[in-house]
Structure 1
């Protein structure tokens, strides 16, 4: 699974960091402190779908240090960018790998498996297989910024609900992992981990987009319009009208898009 450009990841990073729940992120850092041991003087975070290293940057901002970052992504260009940005400041192991082949993911020795904006793209089969591997090692899980299906816009447009329903339907398409869970991913991931005996905490982490996020919001609007343009009962005129209205109000409007962060600690 791949397909995210460096430019899009750059656009969304400040909104991601602002949205990321700091209470759970702090608990991640506390867990890392407790997880240090004589056999592994540097704590290991395996970051799945790591992209250019946004999770690395977010946790480093919040105080993470002496971490071995094992960045895993299918897109070699994104990993190269992560190394370009951080290769001299951080201990990085980069792995170009297909995340869907869960039995080959480099999880050995990990203290935490992290992922940001990944599990809403995933299927039940992928999560089941990954959690089975994680549980075998009793490794903690930190999954941030999972879309929950809610979006509100100001000012409102008569087609907002219809567009959102179509977009949420599109989120269930196969994104490379099998039929995606989309907005249901956090509930499913929580259930599977609790069934394995993990203590799971979830907190909301919504995007709050305003004028300062104009470039990102414009890109987001265009992406939503493209996703719902065919196969979901909307006419071309409806999609064009909604897109034009939304782009007109990017600088003076507001958008809230719901996400959840999850932290699961082994019992």
Structure 2
């Protein structure tokens, strides 16, 4: 079989960049997609991945990416990783613009990319056989609500529903639909985006938490799911650090065994 190609969005940092690196280490051709050309150029130089600069909230950019991929060659997998949170305000007080941005990047961008790349995945399957994959990185916030999560919860719940419906729609085709729902992941940018660049607020959720997940932990989960035998579909993978039982239930400090009695 020829080398397989995967498209990874949100590739300029965090989980996306780690996923690009790991797929390349495993011998895949990779196209990393993100808004920041300078970071993509550095990632390309480091890994040998192809890169494409695009804002996935713009349909013209997604169309241009689709056209580029159609010329580049077969596409076997899509990883919808681009996403993010904005603020921790209540439903009553939160800014509608923050909600609109969260829906654009967490939901509508996934829809745009899925609609754009499904014909390319089918073209590859028709020519080469085998199977194809659509992976979307959501969050445990898409399964369990928490205070302050209103807009992000709503967006990730919607992304989860999108994947559930897509799996029903594609039943009968050799295309796996995989949802990866991480809990607390410590990356360099998620909190900074959520809190408008406030580094103190961005660091606070991780304070005294033993071993929050890393971007590499999630990347390993994504790549492992895609590399399962073609008849095995890991529909929904929830991954959390041991210190986190739920979005609102987090142990801080050393994990210790309870005394008997």
Q: TM-score, normalised by structure 2?
A: 0.50
Q: Which has the higher contact order (CA 8 A, sep 6+)?
A: 1
More strand by share: 1
Q: TM-score, normalised by structure 1?
A: 0.49
